A = this chain, B = another copy of it.
Amino acid sequence: MNWNEERNLIMVSKMYYEEALTQNEISKQLGIYRTTITRMLQKAREEGIVRIEVVESNRVKVDLERRLKEKFGSIQEFIVVPVNAESTRSSRLKAVGNVAISLLDSILKEGDNVGLAWGETMGTMANLIERKRKIDADFVPIVGGPGKMRVEHHVNTIAYNFAKAYHSRAHYIDSAAIVQSKETRDEIMGSEYMRDVLKLWDKLTVAIIGIGAPIRSSNLVWAGFLENGEDQMLEKDKAVGDIGSRFYNIDGLETTASLQERTIAIELDRLKENRATIAVAESEEKLESIVGAINGGYISHLVIDEPTAEALIRREG
Contact B52 A52 (CB under 8 A): yes
A4 within 8 A of B: yes
Q: How far is the CA of A54 from the CA of B53 in the complex (A)?
A: 11
Q: How far is the CA of A109 from the CA of B280 in the complex (A)?
A: 71
A32 within 8 A of B: no
Q: How many residues of A contact B (CB 8 A)?
A: 33
Contact B99 A14 (CB under 8 A): no
CB-CB under 8 A from A54, the residues of chain B are 10, 13-14, 17-18, 44, 49-51
Assembly of this chain: how many copies?
Answer: 2
A219 within 8 A of B: no
CB-CB under 8 A from A13, the residues of chain B are 54
Task: Encode A1-21 as 1/0 by CB contact (under 8 A) with B.
Answer: 011101100110110011000
Contact B4 A103 (CB under 8 A): yes
Q: Are A52 and B3 also in contact (CB < 8 A) when A11-B62, A60-B10 are?
A: no
A106 within 8 A of B: yes
Contact A62 B10 (CB under 8 A): yes
Q: How far is the CB of A64 from chain B (nearest CB, A)?
A: 12
Q: Are A60 and B102 also in contact (CB < 8 A) when A17-B52, A54-B13 are?
A: no
Within 8 A of B (CB), among A91-137: 99, 102-103, 105-106
CB-CB under 8 A from A3, the residues of chain B are 59-60, 99, 102
Residue of B nearest to A14 (CB): B54
A317 within 8 A of B: no
Q: How far is the CB of A46 from chain B (nearest CB, A)?
A: 12
Residue of B nearest to A106 (CB): B4
Residue of B nearest to A63 (CB): B14
Contact A49 B59 (CB under 8 A): no
Q: How far is the CB of A6 from chain B (nearest CB, A)?
A: 6
Q: How far is the CA of A51 from the CA of B57 in the complex (A)?
A: 12
Q: How far is the CB of A41 from chain B (nearest CB, A)?
A: 11
A86 within 8 A of B: no
CB-CB under 8 A from A50, the residues of chain B are 52-55
Other-chain contact of A6, B2, B59, B106 (Cβ < 8 Å): B59
Other-chain contact of A7, B48, B49, B60 (Cβ < 8 Å): B60
A192 within 8 A of B: no
Report the 9 A-B pairs with minimum CB-CB distance, sorted nearest first: A13-B54, A51-B53, A4-B106, A10-B62, A7-B60, A3-B102, A14-B54, A17-B52, A52-B52
Beyond known contacts A11-B66, A13-B54, A44-B54: 13 more, CB 8 A cutoff? A2-B102, A3-B102, A4-B106, A6-B57, A7-B79, A10-B56, A10-B57, A14-B62, A18-B54, A49-B54, A49-B57, A50-B53, A50-B54
Give A residues with C-beta under 8 Å from B.
2-4, 6-7, 10-11, 13-14, 17-18, 44, 48-57, 59-60, 62-63, 66, 79, 99, 102-103, 105-106
